Chain A
Amino acid sequence: MDAPVLSGVEGPLLAIENLRTYFYSRAKRAFIRSVDGVSLGVARGETLGIVGESGSGKSVTALSAAGLVTAGPGVISGRIELRTNGTGYNLLEGLEKYARVTEQDGRVMAVEKDERGWRTHSEQLMAGVRGKKIAMIFQNPRSALNPYSTIGKQLVETIRLHTNFRGRREAKERAIHWLERVRIDSPRLRFDNFPFGMSGGMCQRAMLAMALSAEPSLLIADEPTTGLDATIQSRVVDLLAELKAGTGVATILISHDISVIQRLSDRIAVMYGGTVVETGRAEEVLAPEVVVRHPYTAALLASIPNAETIRRKSYLQAIEGDVLDTIDVPRGCRFYGRCHRVTDAIRENCAGLEPPLAEVAPGHKVRCWLYAAAGKA
């Protein structure tokens, strides 16, 4: 069964609405609210950069969209729509009947989920989508490639499965074409290499070739440069920029490296504690002169050594406290405990009420009580 076709296909390529993905911690007997009400959109040909620290929910958001969350309870509610080739798919269609979510004051208290039923149904929905319409590349390319099979074989398999190059020979030519496009030297020789004979950067490029060879509408790149050497990182970033321009594939780029996000993204979403705290065009969110931004984004940018701090050998502006533990989520703003910009006027709100994601400029939204009034006005 393919994902059901929706009517009305205008709007972004991928629209995630109020996604919630929880896990259950047996040790703590509580939910880990990895993704807690995330709404995001990715337009055709656009690169959406998601920045955030570990545990902020950036990877889980992407994995949920690709239907790859296998641990329970997993995705419990929300809506994920993919609109390609004039048709739309709801990737969570009909899944709500497998999960019963009990809420109290807007917080999830209990989840009863038929995980098996959900998984079977979800696999059916994703069958024609994952790998074909949504492709992914991961942080550790070696673990994503099959160690028992040559790069070429793996590429040919993808191409024959997902594209019209069904014949063995034409699929092989196509595979070599893709190896060339990701700048692998002597692609004909590399075609017969096993992943263990290749460097990390080369494996990353092979995986990228494999992802793109299916000609997907959406590429999810989860920390594609993390763990690579500095010199190779900058080459991978160059390559991603080049392929983005060449193929026009829409991309969700996940990274904690702000320089990578800055270089490649059209729009940016900053995540903290399972929610999006700021979203807008890249230049608006990250430009140094911008004053209206979420205190977390501001603090994050300030904590990175820049030319000035290095020259003066001054202290880094660290964000005090620890990254939010998404088990014990506070009632108010998730950043309240570490925030330096709480004023007396808004303190009560910050402590007790989660701020809305308010629009501070066209397309630029910030989840902070400082700007909540501006959003309403």
Chain B
Amino acid sequence: MNRAILEVTDLRKHYSQRRGLVSRLTGQGRVIPAVDGVSFYLRENETVGLVGESGCGKTTIGRTVLRLTDPTSGRIVFDGRDITTLSRAELRPLRREMQMIFQDLDAGLNPKMRVLAILREALTVHDRPSDAEIAKRIHELLEQVNLKDSKLANFPSELSGGEKRRVGIARVLAVRPRLIVADEPTSALDISIQAQVVNLLRDLQKNLGLSYLFISHDLPVVELVSQKVAVMYLGRIVEMGLSEKIAHQPRHPYTGILWSSLADKQNAEVSPYTGDGATAERGRRIWGVSDFEQPVSGCRFAPRCPLYKDKGRPAICTDPASEPQLRDVGNGHVVACHFA
């Protein structure tokens, strides 16, 4: 079994939001717990998928583990080394080992630089290679991401979406990283191009031994590329386990809802509005979106939870003293639900 390249323990990132004069004077701003006590690890040459609705804290985790934003508390261990409190200077040599692919296709591509210059810059940021080495590496990178040499003379604006994504990946690979946080790497792409990029990312993992933290809301893609999947809800992981278990034998009601909403979309027969009153009621309730506005007491998912209602609103679910914690339900599959 491969050793862990990334270990995150009880990670928290709270954003404070102060608005209005009163809160500014009293110093009491609203705190948004974007990430609220998250622990997981990622093994070398493996992929962990991170799924959840928008605003659940997926991207914040990705940025925090790379120390692109500073955590409020918790511990981040990269390759056996605690990087939680390293200074910028201390982080610098580590930056080349951990990279991020951003959702935005244009992120990291200077619109005024040609592809050649973009790649050259990435190659020379940490090292001082000779011109011959640079030429060799650029050729190698283009081959790795399956991009034509002729594109080197182009500006980013002259590239298609798929090509921009490839250049972005080549740029990340230039520093020979070991861990890549891929934040929605395919969501800005067309369907036919998504498949190319998914295949490419998997090839690169195989050939270069990369580890991915794969953040996406595209559930089938996550299931396909990840060994393990973590499901997030309002800043916490509510369920984590092998991808096929998460997809097909979910234990947390939220995971079930996420995956079934995928099937609902295709399936004309199961409409919550055409059935009896109870199912119509459920359909209406699920309209609610995850939201940090309402104060949480007990389980965060209780207000939207079908199980909570079916069980007759048990007090334990909304008891402020007993927020459900992740429990192992066998084979490393963990769930945070009183009834799982």
Contacts and interface: CB of A to CB of B under 8 A. Distances in A.
B264 A237 contact: yes
Interface string A222-249: 0001000111111101110110000000
Contacts of B162: 322-323
Nearest to A243: B273
B199 A315 contact: yes
22 contacts: A54-B161, A54-B190, A199-B289, A230-B258, A231-B257, A237-B264, A238-B271, A238-B273, A238-B283, A256-B190, A260-B265, A262-B266, A263-B267, A263-B268, A300-B192, A303-B194, A304-B195, A305-B198, A305-B220, A316-B195, A318-B196, A318-B198
Closest 4 CB pairs of A and B: A318-B195, A316-B195, A53-B190, A303-B195
The residue among A263, A299, A310 with the most chain B CB atoms within 10 A of its own CB is A310
Interface of A: 53-54, 183, 185, 199-202, 225, 229-235, 237-239, 241-242, 256-260, 262-263, 299-300, 303-306, 309-311, 313, 315-320, 322-323, 325
A309 B244 CA distance: 12
Contact of A300 (B191, B202, B221, B284): B191
Interface string B165-192: 0000000000000000000000000111
Contact of B220 (A235, A260, A263, A304): A304
B219 interface: yes
A259 B193 contact: no
A270 to B, nearest CB: 12
B195 A317 contact: yes
B223 interface: yes
B160 A325 contact: yes
Contact of A238 (B196, B198, B272): B272
B252 interface: no
Nearest to B260: A234
A259 B160 contact: no
A305 B244 CA distance: 14
A229 B289 CA distance: 9
Interface string B54-86: 100000000000000000000000000000000
Contacts of B289: 199-201, 229, 231-232
Given A300-B192, A315-B202, A322 B287 contact: no
B174 to A, nearest CB: 23
Interface in B260-292: 261-262, 264-268, 271-274, 283-284, 286-287, 289, 291
B199 A313 contact: no
Contacts of A309: 224
Contacts of A300: 191-192
Contacts of A323: 160-162, 190, 192-193
Interface string B70-108: 000000000000000000000000000000000000000
Interface string B185-220: 000001111111011001000000000000001011
The residue among A235, A315, A320 with the most chain B CB atoms within 10 A of its own CB is A235
B53 interface: yes
A257 B274 CA distance: 24
B286 A53 contact: no
B53 A310 contact: no
B36 interface: no
Contacts of B163: 322
A305 B267 contact: no
B193 A322 contact: yes
B287 A185 contact: yes
Contacts of A237: 264-265
A232 B220 contact: no
B273 A242 contact: yes
A229 B217 contact: yes
Contacts of A306: 220
Contacts of B199: 315-316, 318
Nearest to A246: B273
Nearest to B267: A263
Given A185-B287, A241-B271, A322-B160, A310 B266 contact: no
A309 B196 CA distance: 14
A235 B194 CA distance: 25
A231 B284 contact: no
Contact of B223 (A257, A303, A310, A318): A310
B268 A241 contact: yes
B7 to A, nearest CB: 25
Contacts of B261: 230-231, 233-235
Nearest to A296: B192
B202 A305 contact: no
Contact of B266 (A231, A242, A259, A322): A259
A231 B286 contact: yes
Contacts of A201: 287, 289
A319 B160 CA distance: 15
Contacts of A310: 220, 223-224, 244, 247
A263 B262 CA distance: 12
B95 to A, nearest CB: 31
